[in-house]
Structure 1
Amino acid sequence: MASVKVKFRASSVADREGRLYYQIMHNRVTRQINSGHKLLPSEWAALRAGLLRPDCKPRHAYLVALKSRIAEDIARLECIISRLEHTGESYTAGDVVARYLTPSDAGGFFSFARSLVGQLRQIGKIRTGERYTTVLNSFERFRRNTEVSWDEMDSDLMIEYETYLKSRGVCPNTSSYYMRGLRAIYNRAVEKKMTVQRDPFKYVYTGIGKTVKRAVPLKVIRQIRDLDLALFSAMDFARDIFMFSFYTRGMSFIDMAYLKKKDLQNGILSYRRQKTGQQLFVKWEKPMQEIVDKYDTNATPYLLPVIRDMHADARRQYKNAAHLVNDKLKKLGERLGLDIPLTSYVARHGWASIAKDRNIPLAIISEAMGHDSEKTTRIYLASLDTSAVDKANSRILKAL
């Protein structure tokens, strides 16, 4: 296995800076790489001995930064050697030098990430691949479609990216979503020894803040149900999807999209949640059947007309339909004068909130929502309803 050493070549002129270089040795053959760093012989001695005194200003800061840079260069060289060893093929010291000096555009972050997405798709991890693609698209817009070398992937770049996202009105949770996706890709690269761990995400927000979930009361659900949308077929379909979700205790759009006719047997609709894999059973009711009867799905095995073409990609059809439905629901909500954006998920929020208002036991709501525990349901309901707190605040203000 090749070895790496840091060497110093003193200047032939007294009191002049010498040069640092890296020595690569493999199979008794030696090659050198000019580090580009200069320092005095006394500084080299102090650096080797680890004696960097704070009183050697103004050179102390430079020497501390130089020590860190040398460590990064050595780590990068060791990564290159490790990758060459991993191939199992023979290589030379010159190969190590060539890889170190070659611009990393062909093997940078984006190149690795796109390759990773392709691998995920091949093994059936479609949703993870889609998530990484969304994250990469945003990061590439920031970089104006230019490759990011592994040396550039540091905390400064991530701070710049976070600032870029803020300047475009991206909310903290979305920014965190992008950062966590990039971090996951980066950590995979570290595992594969494509780069060294520089903790580029340590100064950016990667948490998950509490989002405000809004529900609508039963009165609004009735208004949505009773709207005459005969002249607006796309909006009518979006309304039907919303109501079907409400009728089925807040079924998510992806679960509705993949419902099959065989899932409905003997008056019971059974399905597994795409998110958790949990199996749920719903008693089939008349309003559910009325929605199904409105649409012709004879050419497909699906219960609802979301995935219509059996020769096209099912997931793409689902995603396109989800975008269309939520766009039309937003317009429908504006038409009703709602103070919140109407989406398919509001049906789920609404069902849970209305169930709570009707004093349905927490255990029943938890089972209906497909939550893994009542604690999850309690947190979920608390995020939907702040009326008790609002009433308390009103009473205090009136007492002033």
Structure 2
Amino acid sequence: MAKATDYKDSDALVKVILYKSKTLADGSHPLMVRITKDRQRKYVSTGLSLQLKHWDDKKAEPRRNCPDRLLVEASINKWKAKFTEAASDLKQEEKPFSALRVAAKAAKSVRKVSVLGFIDEYNDRLNKEKRMGTASTVRDIRRALVRYETDEGRSPEKLLFTEVTPGYLDDFRSTLAERGLAETSMAVYFRTLRLVYNQAIKRGLVHDKHYPFREFKVSQFDLRTRKRAISKEEIGRIVDLKPETARLQLARDLFVFSYYGAGINFVDMAYLTWNDVQNGRLRYERKKTGHLFNFKLSVIAQQILDYYRPLTYKGIDAYVFPILDRHRHQTPKQVDNRIHKILGQVNPDLKVIAQMAGVEVVLTTYVARHSFATALKYSGVATAVISEAMGHQTESITQTYLASFENELIDEAFDNL
């Protein structure tokens, strides 16, 4: 008797299994569609693979500990439905057919999927999962595609994944370059589009044979950032400023706190609560990566906290900086909008701060992070631990070494900031 997870139509049994006879380089096994007809079997790759510990053989489904379990389940269901439909169509022809025929028919019936339609669906899922940062970049690439297709005289809603070829991507890149988009920004666009395409493949909505990023390499973009770190002497001039308005005061304080707070980025500063400040140390989890940070607060960082405590402290769960309000910003969307709004104020305000301090570099919240990394390097910390380019390319390495600041080397380096 067929299990509840099996589809048995038209004398053909369709099931997605973990194909243990083949082991991939990472130790995982491919997920295969197995079509059984008249004691003959045909296997078709789904393009997915899982570790053995993430698969339940009895239920023929991913376990609860499987990464992206819901996404994998949705993909499995689509694969099974597609092949079951093919078998059903063949049965209605009232002619003998084989498992191979089922596979061939299903291959020809791959649904044409609109890129924008899938982006909207994927973005909804990201919002439900509260992955607001990724959702924001996905919305950005959607807007860019809509503008590009419209300018080319095409209907954006009709763009299919199979039409996103290496040539299409190259033309898209040329158009973005003509508009003056920086290489780093283009890299973000194409990485995001690659992510979307990979998700569509995972869900069985487009065959991986159409995958354009094997030929069109995102690595072609020049991601070397201009040196934007400022010196400790310039940091000192910013620290000594006495801003006349509350807005400029907040911008100055966030910049200085980022520098003296291990290069903490703006989003994480917005989320900081007084519970994260304990015994002269700052402990928090980075929103982007989930990495835990724990380091000794410098004198200047502590002074900034002392300034804001009487203004924002309403209990240990209250936010440190006056960016978010628990009563007004409750949903992920409200929080995301508020953070982007304040960041849109802070960076222009930092340009005013730079003029006041006589700093020629265009100040942004990222400059503080970059300056922190550079200061540590010149304080004697090995580049393997703290990289001068503590940005997108090497951030994961830096975070690995900064996950715990308990060791004396880092604490001593902080004293030298």
Shorter-chain TM-score range: 0.5 to 0.7
Report the AA paired with residue 307 of structure 1: L
Q: Is the 8 A contact 2:145 2:156 kept in 1?
A: no
Q: Find 2:212's aligned residue among 171, 187, 200.
A: 200
Q: Which residue of 2 aligns with 1:56?
A: none
Q: Which residue of 2 aligns with 1:297?
A: 312
Q: Which residue of 2 aligns with 1:224?
A: 238
Q: How big is each residue's C-alpha offset from its partner over 1:14-46, in whole Å with a ceiling of 9 and x where there is no partner?
A: xxxxxxxxxxxxxxxxxxxxxxxxxxxxxxxxx
Whether 2:323 is the aligned partner of 1:306: answer yes
Whether 2:148 is the aligned partner of 1:142: answer yes
Q: Find 1:186's aligned residue among 182, 191, 197.
A: 197
Q: 1:86 to 1:212 in 2, by over 3 A?
A: farther
1:372 alignment partner, SS class:
helix
Report the AA paired with residue 311 of structure 1: R
Distance in 1 of aligned mates of 2:162 and 2:184: 27
Whether 2:374 is the aligned partner of 1:353: answer yes
Q: Which residue of 1 aligns with 2:129?
A: 123
Q: How does the TM-score come out when normalised to structure 2? A: 0.59
Bigger shift: 314-323 or 341-350? Answer: 314-323
Q: 1:243 to 1:90 in 2, by over 3 A?
A: same
Q: Is the 8 A contact 1:224 1:239 kept in 2?
A: yes
Distance in 1 of aligned mates of 2:129 and 2:242: 46
Q: 1:83 to 1:158 in 2, by over 3 A?
A: farther
Distance in 2 of aligned mates of 1:150 and 1:249: 42
Report the AA paired with residue 189 of structure 2: Y
Q: CA deviation at 1:243?
A: 0.9
Q: CA deviation at 1:185?
A: 1.1
Q: Which residue of 2 aligns with 1:250?
A: 263
Bigger shift: 109-118 or 319-328? Answer: 319-328
1:227 alignment partner, SS class:
coil
Q: Which residue of 2 aligns with 1:34?
A: none
Q: Which residue of 1 aligns with 2:290?
A: 277
Q: CA deviation at 1:261?
A: 0.8
Q: CA deviation at 1:328?
A: 1.4
Report the AA paired with residue 312 of structure 2: T
Distance in 2 of aligned mates of 1:86 and 1:337: 70
Distance in 2 of aligned mates of 1:193 and 1:364: 41
Distance in 1 of aligned mates of 2:85 and 2:184: 40
Q: Which residue of 2 aligns with 1:233?
A: 246
Q: CA deviation at 1:264?
A: 1.6
Distance in 2 of aligned mates of 1:216 and 1:81: 54
Q: Is the 8 A contact 1:172 1:205 kept in 2?
A: no
* RMSD, matched Cα: 3.7
Q: Is the 8 A contact 1:234 1:328 kept in 2?
A: yes
Q: Is the 8 A contact 1:84 1:91 kept in 2?
A: no
Q: Which residue of 2 aligns with 1:264?
A: 277
Distance in 1 of aligned mates of 2:266 and 2:340: 10
Report the AA paired with residue 291 of structure 1: I
Distance in 2 of aligned mates of 1:175 and 1:204: 13
Distance in 2 of aligned mates of 1:154 and 1:254: 36
1:271 alignment partner, SS class:
strand
Report the AA paired with residue 234 of structure 2: V
Q: 1:161 to 1:334 in 2, by over 3 A?
A: farther
Q: How big is each residue's C-alpha offset from its partner over 1:301-352, in whole Å with a ceiling of 9 and x where there is no partner?
A: 1112121243322233223222321221133324545343211122222233
Q: Which residue of 2 aligns with 1:19?
A: none
Q: Is the 8 A contact 1:329 1:343 kept in 2?
A: yes
Q: Which residue of 1 aligns with 2:176?
A: 165
Q: CA deviation at 1:134?
A: 1.9
Q: Is the 8 A contact 1:176 1:205 kept in 2?
A: no
Distance in 2 of aligned mates of 1:168 and 1:331: 28
Q: Is the 8 A contact 2:264 2:369 kept in 1?
A: yes
Q: How big is each residue's C-alpha offset from its partner over 1:352-388, in whole Å with a ceiling of 9 and x where there is no partner?
A: 333443x444389749x964249xxxxxxxxxxxxxx
Q: Which residue of 1 aligns with 2:138?
A: 132
Report the AA paired with residue 131 of structure 2: K
1:250 alignment partner, SS class:
coil
Q: 1:131 to 1:353 in 2, by over 3 A?
A: same
Q: Which residue of 2 aligns with 1:320?
A: 341
1:345 alignment partner, SS class:
helix
Distance in 1 of aligned mates of 2:114 and 2:191: 19
Q: Is the 8 A contact 1:292 1:303 kept in 2?
A: yes
Q: 1:91 to 1:242 in 2, by over 3 A?
A: same
Q: 1:174 to 1:205 in 2, by over 3 A?
A: farther
Q: Which has the larger radius of gyration?
A: 1
Distance in 2 of aligned mates of 1:171 and 1:363: 27
How do residues 325-340 of structure 1 correspond to structure 2 at under 5 angstroms? 325-340=346-361
Tell me how many residue pairs correspond in the alignment.
289
Distance in 1 of aligned mates of 2:380 and 2:291: 22
Distance in 2 of aligned mates of 1:129 and 1:317: 15
Identity %: 26
Distance in 1 of aligned mates of 2:254 and 2:304: 8
Q: 1:89 to 1:202 in 2, by over 3 A?
A: closer
Q: CA deviation at 1:139?
A: 1.7
Q: CA deviation at 1:297?
A: 1.5
2:295 alignment partner, SS class:
strand
Q: How big is each residue's C-alpha offset from its partner over 1:168-209, in whole Å with a ceiling of 9 and x where there is no partner?
A: 111223212211211221222233332333233455451153
Q: How does the TM-score come out when normalised to structure 1? A: 0.62
